[in-house]
Structure 1
Amino acid sequence: MKKLNLLLSICIITLVSACGGSTNQSEESSDPETEESSDPEIKLYVFEVGDILVKDISLFNPGVDTGQTKNFTNSAYLIRHPKGDLIWDTGLPDALAQAPDGNDSQAFLMKMPKTLSAQLEEINVSPTDIEFLAVSHLHGDHTGNMNLFTSATLLLQSEEYEGLFEGETVAPAVDSLRNNEFVKLTGDHDVFGDGSVVIKRAPGHTAGHQVLYVNLPETGPIVLSGDLYHFTKNRELRGVPAFNADKEQTLKSMDSVEAFLKEQSAVLWIQHDKEQNEGIAHSPEFHK
């Protein structure tokens, strides 16, 4: 997957691709229309877990705005449900906060103004108390703090699961997770069994990329994008980044998710879109 190497320049840590220890497997699907939850106790917290300056935005919309820069935010989320807590994506590594000038590369300048650990502490949540951990995919801006969640059951599509551990040297971002429980997914997955929080398979950006549907009693239905799109213009143009694993798969996933959004009357939150994220309440505030 040589196209993938370009994006991996943004990673502080290098992620590997093969297989490691496993436990449970799952092939379950869920239709949120038939299993709606109206539990007012469900809460969604949004964390800012990194700032990324993209030095040439045409990397994401090939052939468009060549040479122009753009600022991305980086997002992680905590869903608090009566049946447990789920972390979705974990951002850049907290250790990056110790470098005030950030990490500079040819394509990106990355900074971590505030750690995920500090943001969880503000709302009195311990990472080891969180029951479930899911990441949209294994790129380093989404996996930097996975090691915090050593008690969580990890929910990944099977292709991403197989990229966690390889050989004798384990990637630093996941080296503490060998003893965690795992659920290998081969499709959609209803996390709590009531249709309120559903992982949806959306491959293309990587082979096992996934997005997250969250239906909140007051805010309504939301889909968290992962890296299906990176910003609003990217969505409008259906731009497929040059480094995506599979262009045709990406376009099919875009079609599938757009149809799902329409069916559910859901709003798409684009996780890297700085302008959209400025209009969303962030932790310690929450959405319910």
Structure 2
Amino acid sequence: MSPLPEPPAWTQPLPEATPPADMSVHHLPTGSYENRAAFAFKGGSFRDKRDFASSAILVRHPRGDLLIDAGFGTDVDAHLALLPRFMRTPHRATRTVAEQLDAAGYDRGRLLGVLPTHTHWDHVGGLEALAGTPIWMNEGELRYAAKGWEGTVYRQVSQGHEIRGYGFDDRPYLGFPTSFDVHGDGSVVVVHAPGHTTGSVVVFVHPPTGPRYAFIGDLTWQLEGIRERAGRPWLLSKMADSDTDRVHRDQLRMIALDRLFRIVPAHDLRAYEGIPAL
């Protein structure tokens, strides 16, 4: 299978960021489910069985903390039962985000909200146990989640939550035409990447020390989508993506940034290595 064309590496200066010294990033794993590499990227082997991560990322910031995605919920079996049969893969659930926060003695009053990279079931199931926490949504993803089986779990677990809308400024950011600076200091910047779903996003996080991160959701399912420039298999792309051309366009944008950011596809366990737990 031919890879996507290699884009030129990003050579322009990185956008200015002034993260506070006490900002930090944490990985909250909530479980995994089985899949085959052949279904994840072109050129993957059917014999290569992989555990797809279902996780959340907590970004702690003195102006308020933010969860990126929410992982599995306590009732993951019931959530799977709401999906078509071909989506019901073997899975292993661990502690939910809410359970991990409580076990760490975390003050949930610090949470500004949960910002899903998109609203598929394995990214939002954990919302059900985060009562009182706002959900940050852009208009494109609100429309996407309001209809179709893809938003069934989201519509259930988001009941009772405040929906806090956010939009994108016409301010280019690392090749993406629009962006949203969460704290106004460049430390957490959301860009619109509407290919997997119509409101899916990439979240760039600049801690005060250590690597810069790009949490890309399902722009690619595995790191091979970045390191080997592998697209999704044709049939899986048709089933999973709203706009394959847009996925490839934004995938190339991220490939160009590979040496500058630690790129984290939401479902690749390898990508989370080294991100500390709470």
Whether TM exceeds 0.5 here: the answer is yes
Establish whether residue 270 from structure 1 lines up as the match of residue 253 from structure 2. Answer: no
How many angstroms does 1:256 deviate by? 2.1
**2:21 alignment partner in structure 1:** 40
The amino acid across from 1:173 in the alignment is V
The amino acid across from 2:72 in the alignment is L
**2:155 alignment partner in structure 1:** 171
- Distance across 1 between alignment mates of 2:53 and 2:126: 16
- Distance across 2 between alignment mates of 1:119 and 1:97: 20
Establish whether residue 251 from structure 1 lines up as the match of residue 242 from structure 2. Answer: no
Confirm or deny: 8 A CA contact 1:205 1:228 kept in the other structure.
yes
**1:9 alignment partner in structure 2:** none
SS at match of 2:277: coil
Please show how residues 69-148 of structure 1 align to structure 2 within 5 Å.
69-96=49-76, 106=86, 108-127=89-108, 129-148=110-129
- Distance across 2 between alignment mates of 1:46 and 1:150: 21
Confirm or deny: 8 A CA contact 2:144 2:198 kept in the other structure.
no
- Distance across 2 between alignment mates of 1:223 and 1:32: 17
Establish whether residue 157 from structure 1 lines up as the match of residue 146 from structure 2. Answer: no
**2:45 alignment partner in structure 1:** 65
**1:183 alignment partner in structure 2:** 166
Question: What is the TM-score when the length of structure 2 is the normalising length?
Answer: 0.76
How many angstroms does 1:183 deviate by? 2.2
- Distance across 1 between alignment mates of 2:265 and 2:118: 15
Task: Identify which of 199, 203, 207 aligns with 1:212.
Answer: 203
User: What count of residue pairs does the alignment treat as equivalent?
Assistant: 245
- Distance across 1 between alignment mates of 2:243 and 2:90: 26
Question: What is the TM-score when the length of structure 1 is the normalising length?
Answer: 0.74
- Distance across 2 between alignment mates of 1:148 and 1:35: 36
Deviations 1:120-151 (A, max 9, x none): 11222244541132100010000102244444
How many angstroms does 1:165 deviate by? 4.2
Task: Identify which of 220, 228, 235 aligns with 1:229.
Answer: 220
Deviations 1:43-93 (A, max 9, x none): 111110121111x33222246424643211222011110111101000111
Identical columns (%): 22
SS at match of 1:144: helix
SS at match of 2:225: helix
Confirm or deny: 8 A CA contact 1:97 1:115 kept in the other structure.
no
How many angstroms does 1:113 deviate by? 1.6
**2:231 alignment partner in structure 1:** 239
- Distance across 2 between alignment mates of 1:157 and 1:166: 15
**1:7 alignment partner in structure 2:** none
SS at match of 1:207: coil
**1:14 alignment partner in structure 2:** none
- Distance across 2 between alignment mates of 1:246 and 1:67: 29
Confirm or deny: 8 A CA contact 1:147 1:176 kept in the other structure.
no
SS at match of 1:41: coil
Structure 1 unaligned runs (5+)?
A: 1-30
Tell me whether 58-67 or 221-230 shows the greater mean CA deviation: 58-67
How many angstroms does 1:275 deviate by? 2.8
Cα gap change, 1:66/1:152 in structure 2, threshold over 3 Å: closer, same or farther? same
- Distance across 2 between alignment mates of 1:68 and 1:221: 30
The amino acid across from 1:135 in the alignment is P
Structure 2 unaligned runs (5+)?
A: 1-11, 170-177
How many angstroms does 1:260 deviate by? 4.4
